[in-house]
Structure 1
Amino acid sequence: MFETKILSADESSINEAVNLLKSGEVVGMPTETVYGLGADAMNENAVRKIFAAKGRPADNPLIVHISRFDMIEPLVTEIPELAYKCAEEFWPGPLTMIMPKSDAVPEITSGGLDSVGIRMPSHKVARAIINKCGFPIAAPSANLSGSPSPTTAGHVFNDMNGRIPAIVDGGFSAVGVESTVISFEKDAIRILRPGFISAEDLKEITPDVIIDKGVLGKLENGAVARSPGMKYKHYAPKADITIIDSSLGAYRTYVKEHADKDTVCMVFKTDDCEDLGFKTICYGSSDSEQAHLLFDTLRELDNIGAKKVFARCPNKDGIGLAVYNRLLRAAAFQVVKL
């Protein structure tokens, strides 16, 4: 058990975090997407501590974070031409690219796969930590496995207090959902996990952008998760969530007919259904606002003791696809289409 400290993001605190990482420990760190649980990606023992802290299955691959493009070369055996183009357009930023891994990357880091996901974050604190460490950092979201991802240092502390030595507080995550994860197939890009970098954005690189069926559907039994976040249930609060895919009018009618005194309405705006007499919680009226607030809202459902939640369905294009993907897993694929 650790006495977990929350560190500020000043230089002395960053140096303290770096020293912990260099000694093989795990540190909670901010990124522009969500907070990560960082450790030396090339140190098997350090990476194992990530899995232990999260209670994460060992077949769930980790994303490796770098601060300079030349840090990729020891990690992979091949860099596709499309990867260079994507890096030029979107790095540093919320895009993870999957490439064939080299033998230098431990299997525990790649979840036993022959590939590795690599990202260059734009958050200045994350970049400072990686630069000072001098090695790539494996960093999945800094939450207990399966629970909503953390977008504040406080969220990390709630999940990781006693499990890790320190958390660097870099403020509220700007994006709010994890990075877009892509792989390459000849002249095509396949989206394995949607994020802030959308299919529409990627079509500026190549017109051939494929949305993997695992984005909107369940993985088949025995199927390999090629990206984090592809498991059946993920990002979930304790409440039972059902997504209502409908117009506002049909949503209101469904709530009237099916809700009880313990139901919480998860809506875009307070006035969507406050007159119905049920508890409401809002997660934003625009796609970007929903991405920014989704995980904070899911955690708030636990704080208010929600048992049953009817959630309005977000858009399914642009960054809305990322919001829907996360909400779908939080709801364990329970969707009512009206």
Structure 2
Amino acid sequence: MSIISKDISKAIELLNNDELVAIPTETVYGLAGNIFSENAVKSIFKTKKRPSFNPLIVHIASKNRLSNIVSYIPIKAQLLADAFWPGPITLVLPKKEIIPDLITSGKPTVAVRVPNHPITLQLLNQLEFPLAAPSANPFSNISPTKPEHVENYFKHDIKMVLDGGPCKRGIESTIIGFEKDEPIIYRLGSTPIEEIERVIGKISIKNKEEISPKAPGMLERHYAPKTKTILTDDLTKSIKFHSDKRIGLLIFNDILNDDNIQFKVVLSEGSNLYEAASKLYDALHQLDEQELDIIIAEKLPNYGLGKSINDRLSRATKC
């Protein structure tokens, strides 16, 4: 049975003994283990029911430790690390031989980031090894942004959730790889494209890969509620079409009243995309608990973090 606790010393003890601990980050909670422990890494894949072809992200305490993990850092990768770390940017770079193939799904590159959460940074600075930490949810399910979400998923599978409160950013990090030293977004995330381009110039997107993904979050179906979910830019039409069902509504900023709606969550009454992102997964968790027939999600403005939110909702609605 897992416990929710702020005891960092207990988390260190468990991680040193090859156990898994759910850890907070600014994006989502991660299911963490020692990257150099084969037992711990295998346990991550087994606990999440995650396919072995889907690589993990390595979390380090500071950008100064990046050279311990990777063998080559392109100039634009260093610019991104300097600008955004600690923070929700993950870089996919050539790995050093010490990084186990199990972490990278046999690929020559490793995904790495410095999380921006004081508790997890304190934890990482007291450990002698980096942590692999994919989102602390069963594979393809809604990501967890509160310790209670993790406990609901894994209370019989892990011993501890390190309590860092609700995640402030709310969706996963933006993942950037490099092909011929040029940056490419493999996963849209908590750092908007516009902010990235202000640092390194124009960047392309290649964020879907079903067979052998270069990074997490590239599969077509992901982040999905158990309840059937659809994404629409015409709420009135969708509600009318499904009027014979118990409907849950996920909307951006509008107070829409309709007798057919059983449960409704507004992401940001003030139309703030950062607030909407921080509430997204918790809203989906709430909707998924209401015994609805269908969740109708409103497409957000397709710029800034709206692109990332729409990406998550699009993957959540794939059957």
| Class of the TM-score when normalised by the shorter of the 2 chains | over 0.9
| Cα 1:32–1:241 shift into 2, 3 Å | same
C-alpha displacement of 1:106: 0.7
* TM-score, reference length from structure 2: 0.94
Give every structure 1 segment of 4 or more consecutive aligned residues whose post-TM-superposition deviation is greater than 6 Å. Answer: none
Q: 2: distance between equivalents of 1:53 and 1:277?
A: 38
State the match for 2:264 in structure 1.
Answer: 281
1:264 aligns with 2:248: yes
Query: Cα distance, 1:211 vs. partner?
Result: 1.4
Alignment RMSD: 1.6
Where 2:4 maps in the other structure, the secondary structure is strand
1:167 aligned residue (161, 167, 172): 161
Residue-by-residue CA offset, 1:105-147 (whole Å, 9 max, x unaligned): 1111112211100000110011011111121100000111111
Aligned to 2:318: 332
Query: Following TM superposition, by how much is the alpha carbon of 1:206 offset from its aligned partner in structure 2, in angstroms?
Result: 2.1
Q: Name which of structure 1's ranges 180-189 and 82-91 shifts more when overlaid on structure 2.
A: 180-189
1:27-42 to 2 correspondences below 5 Å: 27-42=21-36
Amino acid at match of 2:301: N
**Which whole-Å CA distance do the structure 1 matches of 2:308 and 2:23 have between them?**
22
Instruction: Name 1:236's counterpart in structure 2.
Output: 224
Q: CA deviation at 1:253?
A: 3.2
Residues 145/283 of structure 1: CA separation in 2 closer, same or farther (3 Å cut): farther
Partner residue of 1:245 out of 220, 224, 233: 233
Structure 1 regions of 5+ residues with no counterpart?
A: 334-338
Count of residue pairs brought into register by the alignment? 316
Q: Does structure 1 residue 88 correspond to structure 2 residue 82?
A: yes
CA contact (8 A) 2:27 2:167 kept: yes
Segments of structure 2 that go 5 or more residues without pairing to the other structure are none
Amino acid at match of 2:306: G
Cα distance in 2 for residues equivalent to 1:281 and 1:40: 40
Give me the whole-angstrom Cα distance separating, in 1, the residues matched to 2:258 and 2:221: 32
Map of 2:188 onto structure 1: 194
**Contact 2:185/2:204 (8 A) holds in 1:** yes
> The residue matched to 1:129 in structure 2 has which SS?
helix
TM, length-normalised to structure 1: 0.89
SS at match of 1:189: strand
Structure 2 residue identity aligned to 1:7 = S
Distance 1:68 1:159 in 2: 30
Give the counterpart letter for 1:331 in structure 2: T
Amino acid at match of 2:262: K
Q: SS at 1:205's partner residue? A: helix
Task: Give the aligned partner of residue 4 of structure 1.
Answer: 2
Counterparts in 2 of 1:276 and 1:268: CA distance versus 1, 3 Å: farther
Q: Deviations over 1:290-334 (max 9, x none)?
A: 21111111111221012212211112221111111111111017x
What letter matches 2:261 in structure 1? Answer: F
> Secondary structure of the residue that 2:116 maps to in structure 1?
coil
Contact 1:31 1:121 in 2 (8 A): yes
The Cα shift of 1:275 comes to 3.1
User: Among 168, 191, 215, which residue is 1:227 paired with?
Assistant: 215
Note if 1:254 corresponds to 2:248: no
Contact 1:39 1:47 in 2 (8 A): yes
Query: C-alpha deviations, 1:41-97, integer Å up to 9, x for none?
Result: 122221111111111111111000001223222321111111111111100101000
Partner residue of 1:320 out of 306, 309, 314: 306
Counterpart of 1:78, as a letter, is Y
Q: Deviations over 1:190-214 (max 9, x none)?
A: 1111112111111112223001152
SS of 2:142's partner is: coil
Which one-letter code corresponds to 1:259 in the other structure? S
Match of 2:144 among 139, 150, 161: 150
Return the alpha-carbon distance in structure 2 between the equivalents of residues 187 and 138 of structure 1: 25
Cα shift at 1:187: 5.5
How far has the Cα of 1:263 moved from its partner? Answer: 2.2
* Whole-angstrom distance in 2 between the partners of 1:66 and 1:283: 35
The answer to whether the Cα contact below 8 Å between 1:28 and 1:38 also exists between their aligned partners in 2 is: yes
User: 1:235·1:330 contact (CA, 8 Å) conserved in 2?
Assistant: yes
Contact 1:187–1:208, Cα closer than 8 Å, also in 2: no
